[in-house]
Amino acid sequence: MTLFMEVNMPHDASNSAVQDTRELSGGERSFSTLCFALALHKMAEAPFRAMDEFDVFMDAVSRKISLGTLVGFTLSHRSQWIFVTPYDIRFTQAT
């Protein structure tokens, strides 16, 4: 069984859907993988979860959006998370 993933970019960034994830930049791949992982996390219960260097290829803007999304997801699902990142995340505040 093979899973195929299609990533649609905003219209101002690209006019067509990316058919092969190898065509994505490192940050786009990281962000797409993060979104896919969150979708999987919604489907399965676990006492805690961990993400290791999920943002390593992201630029500062994507990293901030990703961390905000993760914090929101964590708070809304009342789950415990462990985030490991080599970057400074002090600017991210829980809401």
Please tell me the total count of domains within the chain. 1
Which residues, at least 6 apart from 79, have a Cβ–Cβ distance to it below 8 Å?
A: 41, 46, 47, 48, 49
pTM listed for this prediction? 0.66
The reply to whether 33 falls in a domain is: yes
Write out pLDDT tens, residues 10-68: 655 555 566 677 778 888 888 888 888 888 888 888 888 898 988 888 888 888 888 88
The reply to whether 92 falls in a domain is: no
| Domain, as residue range, for 45 | 21-84
pLDDT band at 95; cut points 50, 70, 90 = very low
Task: Tell me the Ramachandran region of residue 57: left when phi exceeds 0, alpha when psi lies from -120 to 50, beta otherwise.
Answer: alpha
Q: For the beta carbon of residue 15, count every other beta carbon within 10 angstroms.
A: 7
